[in-house]
Chain A
Amino acid sequence: MHPAVSVILFTVSSGAGFGLILMTIALSLMGWVPGMGPGQTLVAIFTGSVLATIGLLSSTAHLANPKNAWRAFFRFRSSWLSREGIFAVLFYPVILVYMIGLWLARDSGSLPWWGLLSGLVASLLALATVFCTGMIYASLRTIPQWNSALVPANYLLLAISSGTVILTLIAALQGIELTVLSGLSLVLLVIAGLAKLLYYIWIGKPQGPTLNTAMGITRAKIKILESGQSSRSFLNKEFSNQVPAKTVKRMRWMVYLVGFVIPAVLMLVVFQTSLTVLPLLAVLLLLAGLAIERWLFFVEARHVVNVFYGQ
């Protein structure tokens, strides 16, 4: 699949934003992080909303006819893209109410009941939005590498792990105790990394339709003689890409090194020393790693249309 920059930016940024909001609300409701009061929570929530918004706005950049984008809210019953849009839009008023609650609770330190409720609802909406993003891809039977429960699982795990690392950075900037957050980041990064490994192993085995099932000629060898085109059409530009296998392999190593291993090691160091510059480095590396991960997610996806072109 063609890796559109706007979609990579969208999924990484809004994933991290929603993950950050989800984890912040969950942690603050449970009161797990000492020193994180309503004021500090507000900063994290605001950052998360900004990240999510950057992502959502950039997602509209890949529409060829954005003036009809408002119509995307009308097929909730069948389309995961429509569901994603609806959850994302519902998220905004709810998070606004929650932020107002946090603002009012700045001094007293105690959140009113409606603040609590809106926090819960907002985190559920954030979760639902990320899940829908994963399901847009996972529901396509035409792309064997995406058609798996591992895809939404990966999207969710990457969102909450990157969100937690960003939360660690925000906490570090505010001088909050980092043990809980860096420990949690470490655990989530390891889990997310293992899940991604599972995905890479799973897509390694050949799967999906072949030219034989496409033409109904079950046994003979088939090769393409002519595509009937003198240059690349929409189908080739959208669905095939000529990234050499060697580059793909190298990029996978990059994903692991930049996206998981180094950030995890940094979190381990923070866990033991509470050094406050390290979370910044971890966030930058992690986001770069995730951008490569998302690029690979598209590059490695092989749409069945390629079969008809003998690829």
Chain B
Amino acid sequence: MKLGLVIDLDTCVGCHACVVSCKQWNTSGTLGALTDYDPYGKEPNGVAFNRVRSYEVDEYPNNKTVNMPMSCMHCETAECVTVCPTGASFKREEDGIVLVDQDKCMGCNLCSWACPYGARELDQASGTMKKCTLCVDRIYDMELSEAERQPACVLTCPTRARHFGDFDDPDSNVSVLVRERNGLQSMPELGYNPVNHYLPPRPKPNAPIHDGGQLEPLTDRFKKWLNKVVVR
């Protein structure tokens, strides 16, 4: 099995719901707690497994907002595991999930240096490295109904921009999406071969733009508007 996520850059609205649900689930999960520093102070920050950033792509009048959620890509060539001197970081044989054994980590930060995607963050409170677990403590929990055996971020996404599945199975939902929507990897040139894929924004016509020329007189526009709203 090769478990991972597909994230749709076309439908993601950047609402950060996945960020919140990730933190909520995982702070009491296998790698929890996800420590917050200065939570009520001037510079609140803390450990997160999933972050969403928003970008403006292209220039006016063709510009468009694209939101890009990022968490561990569970890379096939996971250099974060290669560089780890203690063996705390490992990639599971059976499903490809990359995890950090909190009992072995010495907090040297080297794996976070080796990760191109900013997926690893050191928890200052425990002195250990923490990262996305692909909700390993959810997806195999037989107490949950089958529909709920998915990562918290996938379940919570209000626009269904996140999909979870097995990339080894050519007919799985994720494989089909990648095939049909030209799913791509982030920074493929680094050769980490990330499992998570992104679906690029669909080509869509721009919203109509007023050319800025002379407008109709206000009275005419008001009459038009009135004709539209008042049903005779």
A-to-B contact residues, CB < 8 Å: 1, 62-69, 71-75, 78-82, 85, 136, 139-143, 209, 211, 213-217, 220-235, 238-239, 303-305, 308-310
Contact = CB atoms under 8 A, between A and B. Distances in A.
B228 interface: no
Contacts of A139: 83
Contacts of B187: 209, 213-214, 304
B109 A64 contact: yes
Contact of A216 (B52, B62, B186): B186
Contact of A213 (B66, B118, B122, B188): B188
Given A68-B103, A74-B86, A223-B55, 19 more contacts: A63-B127, A65-B106, A67-B106, A72-B108, A78-B83, A79-B83, A79-B85, A142-B190, A209-B116, A217-B201, A220-B57, A222-B55, A225-B55, A225-B65, A226-B14, A226-B53, A228-B16, A233-B46, A309-B53
Interface in B81-135: 81-88, 103-110, 112-118, 121-122, 124, 126-128
A74 B122 CA distance: 21
A209 to B, nearest CB: 5
B55 A71 contact: no
A74 B115 CA distance: 21
B68 interface: yes
A64 B191 contact: no
Interface in B39-67: 42-48, 51-59, 62, 65-66
A81 B118 contact: no
Nearest to B198: A216
B180 interface: no
A64 B53 CA distance: 28
B44 A231 contact: yes
Contacts, number: 190
B56 A223 contact: yes
18 contacts: A64-B108, A85-B85, A140-B83, A142-B190, A213-B189, A215-B66, A216-B184, A216-B198, A217-B200, A221-B58, A221-B59, A222-B58, A228-B16, A230-B44, A233-B48, A233-B121, A308-B118, A310-B55
Contacts of B54: 224-226, 228
Please classify the interface of chain B as helix (H, G, I), strand (E, B), loop, or mixed, using the class held by over half of its residues: loop
A153 B113 CA distance: 21
B107 A63 contact: yes
B79 interface: yes
A143 to B, nearest CB: 7
Contacts of B83: 78-81, 136, 139-140
Pairs A-B, 10 closest by C-beta atoms: A64-B107, A65-B127, A64-B127, A82-B85, A220-B58, A68-B106, A231-B43, A65-B107, A71-B86, A216-B184
A121 B30 CA distance: 45
Interface string B7-26: 00100001010010000000
Contacts of A74: 85-87
A305 B107 contact: no
Given A75-B87, A217-B200, A209 B53 contact: no
Contacts of A222: 55-58, 66
B116 A304 contact: yes
Contacts of A79: 82-85, 110
Contacts of A309: 53
A141 B191 contact: yes
B70 interface: yes
Interface in B172-219: 184-192, 198, 200-201
Contacts of B86: 68, 71-72, 74-75, 82
A144 to B, nearest CB: 10
Interface in B125-179: 126-128
Nearest to A232: B45
Contact of A72 (B14, B106, B185, B200): B106
B9 A215 contact: yes
Nearest to B66: A215
Contacts of A141: 79, 114, 116, 190-192
B75 to A, nearest CB: 12
A62 B127 CA distance: 11
A71 B87 contact: yes
A308 B118 CA distance: 9
B185 to A, nearest CB: 8
Given A63-B107, A75-B87, A142-B113, A233 B45 contact: yes
Contacts of B85: 71-75, 79, 81-82, 85
A78 B82 contact: yes
A72 B108 CA distance: 10
Given A72-B106, A139-B83, A215-B9, A225 B56 contact: yes
